[in-house]
Amino acid sequence: LEEQLRQAQKMEAIGQLAGGVAHDFNNMLQAILGYTNIVLHMLEPDDKRYKKLMEVEKAGEKAAQLTRQLLAFSRRQVLKLGPLDLNQIIDDLLKMLRRLIGENIDLNLVTDKALWTVNADRGQMEQVLLNLCVNARDAMPDGGWLSIETANVSFDEDYCVRHDWAKPGDYVLLSITDSGCGMDEETKQRIFEPFFTTKDQGRGTGLGLATVYGIVRQHEGMVYVYSEVGKGTRFNVYLPAIEKPADEIPAEAPEPVSGGP
Ligand code: ADP
């Protein structure tokens, strides 16, 4: 199970990294190819420089093809969105989570029974939950408690002005809190970086939280961390709530389209 988790984290992060790099790289390549083309057109084909520039263009085209392949790979991980009840996901994973955290860690569940629905990818939400719980466990080698909470939260403009990480709206909050070792400010600054880890070789990949961050951002949500050395850590994940479950939205005739071709 652990090995599987590590593998999934790795693939997820590599996919996102590759996608991000390929995207930026492609933009730069387009500039290189564009200017190469302009200069090519300024030269006569029998110019010595013409042939050399043709080589530049050829290499550029090859690189562009490679980045297109990379982009295709990273886009394979498209989100399969659907209305989800986070409480249900927690419930389904509970047995496995208990096994994962072991016997010297107490698990508390505080779930809001009237939790709003989120529009999310089930597999990815499971991954978020698992990654955060594995980290909590690793922060408590001598035992402690782990708390999983869900709640409905709304942020107004006023709140978001005072908390720059928040965006106004209705959210479902998933909180994972542990009574573990906590983190200092320096560590906290870096935890979402891919490959950042404080764990021993072989135990940590540094991809768990980068993956969590990527998934939450893809769902247009937010992650916020509170931590105190020696006391514990709280990860708050906010996912945009669906106003109403899909089956409650009355079917309406589509709006007439005005103008356009
Ligand atoms: P990994 O778990 O492989 O180290 P992560 O990206 O999941 O990679 O975590 C990065 C680092 O963040 C960890 O090595 C650890 O230092 C810190 N961290 C994450 N979660 C916690 C937590 N609940 N308590 C204390 N430190 C944490």
- Determine the straight-line distance between the first and last CA of the chain, rounded to whole angstroms: 55
CB of residue 233 inside a 6 A radius of ligand 1: yes
Q: How far is CA 206 from CA 10, 48, 87, 155, in A?
A: 9, 51, 27, 31
* Atom of ligand 1 at shortest range from CA of 135: 20
Scan for tokens 């509170």, then name that residue: 226
Query: Ligand 1: which of 137, 195, 197 to mutate, most ligand atoms within 8 Å of CB?
Result: 197
CB of residue 90 inside a 6 A radius of ligand 1: no
Q: Can you tell me the distance from the alpha carbon of 152 to that of 172, in angstroms, rounded to the nearest whole number?
A: 5
Query: Which residues does the chain have with pLDDT short of 50?
Result: 245, 253-254, 256, 258-261
- pLDDT at res. 260: 43
CB of residue 9 inside a 6 A radius of ligand 1: no
- pLDDT at res. 20: 76
CB of residue 127 inside a 6 A radius of ligand 1: no
- pLDDT at res. 232: 98
For residue range 57-116, what is the model confidence (pLDDT) as tens digits? 999 998 888 787 777 666 555 678 999 999 999 999 999 999 999 999 999 999 999 999
Q: In the chain, which ranges are continuous DSSP H helix? A: 2-42, 48-75, 86-101, 122-138, 157-162, 185-190, 208-218
CB of residue 239 inside a 6 A radius of ligand 1: no
For residue range 48-62, what is the model confidence (pLDDT) as tens digits? 999 999 999 999 998
Does the model's ipTM exceed the 0.90 cut?
yes
- pLDDT at res. 113: 94
- pLDDT at res. 24: 82
CB of residue 191 inside a 6 A radius of ligand 1: yes
- pLDDT at res. 134: 94
Amino acid at 85: D
CB of residue 208 inside a 6 A radius of ligand 1: yes
